[in-house]
């Protein structure tokens, strides 16, 4: 079985094939990427893996998936830690691609599921809304210590940001309403008490796997799957880490809303608190439960009912 690692940069790609120990370089240009995808498809690899690089890998991922090649995009920290665990000290693009290929062979990271054309159209708007929201937080922090003309200027900027956020929200809702696929998926998501338009648009954009993978995989993708912390007789509190922080952040406030207005999430939260769980742990568990319930709803194509939440178990926290 062949496992291929690709180290992606703005100008080029370093490709390493295991177990053949072959390495070659390809320009990161559309024509070259199409050709590379076709060549890799002929090799019938078990998996092609690469690190997430903030966007430089997107075109290659699209071409590989369109060619039917199993493809995975891995958190760079996981690759870095894996390389260190194997004793790697030197760092070159060739060595990095080899480490990525070896990681793919050992860990078999999950495959990429591409967003549909409609889902991709939301990306720019959701990203821009996130940027504006971060700008607003920064300006609000500055306003606390500002005076006079500076305070007025900051307040004016915050008002402008609020106006733009409303415009973007309207555009997002319009795009969802214009797409039958997104509208149906959105209606399923918002059928659950506590879930509103903001979380819905984030899930439609940043989590195209929703409804297409198992509850364990969807939890891991978002970084809400609890991991054991044990050593010898020591048994620590289970922890979460990694995953898509934008989705995790978007789940937080709707989870509090669900705790207040969704009987099953509220009962689950109160049950955990009664067991002595810290509030932060209980809320995280509710976020997990909310996510896997939504995954079930979208997968089955049936709107939410209380029975969904009641039968959804969160491993390690129930």
Residue 220 in tokens: 């891991």
- Quick one: which of 78, 84, 80, 81 has its CA closest to 108? 78
Q: Indicate the helix (H) or strand (E) that contains 23.
A: strand 22-27
- Per-residue confidence (pLDDT) for residue 310, from 0 to 100: 52
Summarize the confidence of residues 232-246 as an average pLDDT: 55
pLDDT digits (tens, 9 = 90+) for 209-229: 888 888 888 888 888 875 443
Strands 47-51 and 234-235: unpaired
Computed from CA positions of residues 295, 296, 302, 304, in that sequence, does the dihedral angle turn out positive or negative?
A: negative
Determine what percent of the chain is predicted with pLDDT higher than 90: 42
Domain 3-107 sits in CATH at 3.30.420.40
Query: For the purposes of burial, counting CB atoms within 10 Å of the CB of 90, is it exposed (0-12), middle (13-18) or buried (19 or more)?
Result: exposed
DSSP secondary structure letters along 89-101: ----HHHHHHHHH
- Beta-carbon contacts of 147 under 8 Å, excluding residues fewer than 6 positions away, are none
Rounded to 10°, the helix 279-300/180-190 angle is 140
Residue 132 in tokens: 């504006």
Q: Is 89's pLDDT higher than 70?
A: no
- Per-residue confidence (pLDDT) for residue 90, from 0 to 100: 61
Helix (H, G, I), strand (E, B) or coil at 295: helix
Residue 42 in tokens: 């002929």
Q: Is 305's pLDDT higher than 90?
A: no
pTM for this structure?
Answer: 0.60
Residue 222 in tokens: 């978002």
- Interatomic CA distance for residues 116 and 185, integer angstroms: 12
Residue 196 in tokens: 């509103």
Q: Indicate the helix (H) or strand (E) that contains 164.
A: helix 148-178
The Cα-based distances of 155 to 166, 227, 301 in angstroms read 17, 43, 45
Q: Is 167's pLDDT higher than 90?
A: yes
Residue 73 in tokens: 């995009």
């Amino acid at each position: 079985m062949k496992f291929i690692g690709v180290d992606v940069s703005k100008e080029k790609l370093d490709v390493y094939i295991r177990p053949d120990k072959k390495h070659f370089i390809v320009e990161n240009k559309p024509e070259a990427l199409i050709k590379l995808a076709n060549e890799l498809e002929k090799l019938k690899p078990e998996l092609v893996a690469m690190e997430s690089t903030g966007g430089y890998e997107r075109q290659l991922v699209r071409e590989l998936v369109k060619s039917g090649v199993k493809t995975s995009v891995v958190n760079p920290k996981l690759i870095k830690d894996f390389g260190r665990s194997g004793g790697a000290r030197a760092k070159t693009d060739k060595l990095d691609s080899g480490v990525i290929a070896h990681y793919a062979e050992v860990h078999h990271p999950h495959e990429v599921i591409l967003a549909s054309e409609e889902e991709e159209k939301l990306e720019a708007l959701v990203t821009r809304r996130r940027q504006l929201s971060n700008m607003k937080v920064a300006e609000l922090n500055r306003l606390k210590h500002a005076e006079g003309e500076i305070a007025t200027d900051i307040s004016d900027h915050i008002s402008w940001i609020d106006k733009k956020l409303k415009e973007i929200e309207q555009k997002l809702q319009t795009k969802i309403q214009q797409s039958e696929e997104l509208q149906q998926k959105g209606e399923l998501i918002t059928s659950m008490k506590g879930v509103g338009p903001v979380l819905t648009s984030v899930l439609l954009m940043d989590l195209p796997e929703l409804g297409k993978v198992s509850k364990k995989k969807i939890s891991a993708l978002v970084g809400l799957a609890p991991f054991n912390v044990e050593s010898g007789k020591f048994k620590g509190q289970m922890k979460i880490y990694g995953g898509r922080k934008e989705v995790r952040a978007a789940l937080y406030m709707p989870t509090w809303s669900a705790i207040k207005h969704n009987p099953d999430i509220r009962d689950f939260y109160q049950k955990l608190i009664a067991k002595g769980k810290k509030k932060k742990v209980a809320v995280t568990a509710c976020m997990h439960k909310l996510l896997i319930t939504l995954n079930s709803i979208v997968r089955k194509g049936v709107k939410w009912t209380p029975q969904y939440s009641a039968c959804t178990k969160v491993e390690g926290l129930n």
